[in-house]
């Protein structure tokens, strides 16, 4: 992959092309970087600098409307599976299979804002920290914070993705994601569109098997959003934004 719009960084031997510096500084970032490397070991990034530039800019725009200040690193992996991964420290990976299910930039905004919310609320990192405390107790309170243990913590993070977070975390990320995208000027009704698309797939598409195994059902998520008052949030003009749609379609074609 080439191009000035992206910066290459090797994560566990896999080239991750993202829009910003990926030097891991904090423990949270180190764990997230190692977890991202695990995902990338199974599914490579799509070979499009333009696509990564676009999705990183959109993520940065959304994050300015209510997410903690991270150095965001958002990548698109080449996979038919319908899924997304939010890793500690600002790392997010979206599958091309999920993205091709979407029809508008507003729908993509919901998907991204949901994942940004997971990172901002430290949902996965808190579980990894609890695992770390358990390891410390098992080792007689010996430290397990050295870099050599980061890979083990990344494996613990991988187990989280395999079994999923608790429902409360998913519902919270849905609610916060909708609030973020709305503040950024996107249509909150797009969240309903995305969940309805997933609902139509449930039980009928093996590509979404892991997603359904690790998340509440789309129907439950829709119910919780309606209870949270998604239908009362302000909506932008009903007239489609041609610039948004054009750049979204260009993005989809690139992946």
| CB 227, CB 221: distance < 8 Å | no
Can you list the pairs that 237-244 forms with residues at least 24 positions away whose Cβ atoms lie under 8 Å?
241/105, 244/104, 244/105, 244/106
Helix (H, G, I), strand (E, B) or coil at 93: strand
The alpha carbon of 77 is separated from its chain's Cα centroid by a whole number of angstroms, namely: 12
pLDDT tens digit sequence for 6-30? 434 534 334 444 444 445 588 899 8
Strands of the sheet containing 73-77, edge to edge, are 73-77, 91-95, 84-87
pLDDT value at position 133? Answer: 60
pLDDT score, position 178: 98
145-184 pLDDT, tens digit per residue, is 455 555 555 555 556 665 667 889 999 999 999 999 999 9
DSSP state of 206: G
**What are φ and ψ of residue 77, in 5° steps?**
-95, 145
pLDDT of residue 154: 56
**pTM greater than the 0.75 cutoff:** yes
In this predicted structure, the answer to whether residue 65 has a pLDDT above a threshold of 60 is: yes
Q: How far is CA 190 from the centre of its chain?
A: 17
Candidates 171, 135, 167, 175; CA nearest to 153 is 135
**108-137 tens-digit pLDDT:** 999 999 999 999 999 888 888 877 665 554
Work out the mean pLDDT of the chain and round it to a whole number. Answer: 83
15 strand-pairing partners: 10
214-224 average pLDDT score: 91
Q: Report which of 34, 38, 37, 40 is spatially closest to residue 153, judged by C-alpha positions.
A: 34
Report the pLDDT value the prediction gives residue 206, as an integer from 0 to 100.
Answer: 85
Domain residue limits, the chain: 7-254
pLDDT at 191 over 80: yes
């Amino acid at each position: 992959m080439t191009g000035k719009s992206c910066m290459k960084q090797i994560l566990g031997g896999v080239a991750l092309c993202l829009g910003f510096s990926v030097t891991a500084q904090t423990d949270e970032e180190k764990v997230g970087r190692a977890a991202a490397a695990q995902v990338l070991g199974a599914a490579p990034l799509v070979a499009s600098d333009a696509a990564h530039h676009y999705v990183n800019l959109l993520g940065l725009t959304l994050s300015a409307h209510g997410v903690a200040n991270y150095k965001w690193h958002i990548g698109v992996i080449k996979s038919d599976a319908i899924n997304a991964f939010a890793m500690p420290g600002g790392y997010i990976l979206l599958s091309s299979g999920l993205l091709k299910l979407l029809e508008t930039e507003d729908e993509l905004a919901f998907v991204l804002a949901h994942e940004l919310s997971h990172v901002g609320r430290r949902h996965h990192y808190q579980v990894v920290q609890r695992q770390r405390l358990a390891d410390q107790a098992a080792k007689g309170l010996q430290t397990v914070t050295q870099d050599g243990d980061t890979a083990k913590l990344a494996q613990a993070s991988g187990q989280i993705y395999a079994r999923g977070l608790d429902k409360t975390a998913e519902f919270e990320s849905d609610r916060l994601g909708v609030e973020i995208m709305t503040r950024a000027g996107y249509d909150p009704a797009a969240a309903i569109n995305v969940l309805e698309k997933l609902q139509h797939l449930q039980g009928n598409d093996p590509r979404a098997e892991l997603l359904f195994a690790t998340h509440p059902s789309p129907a439950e998520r829709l119910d919780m959003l309606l209870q949270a008052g998604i239908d009362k949030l302000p909506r932008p003009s009903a007239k489609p934004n041609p610039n948004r749609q054009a750049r979204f379609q260009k993005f989809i074609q690139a992946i």
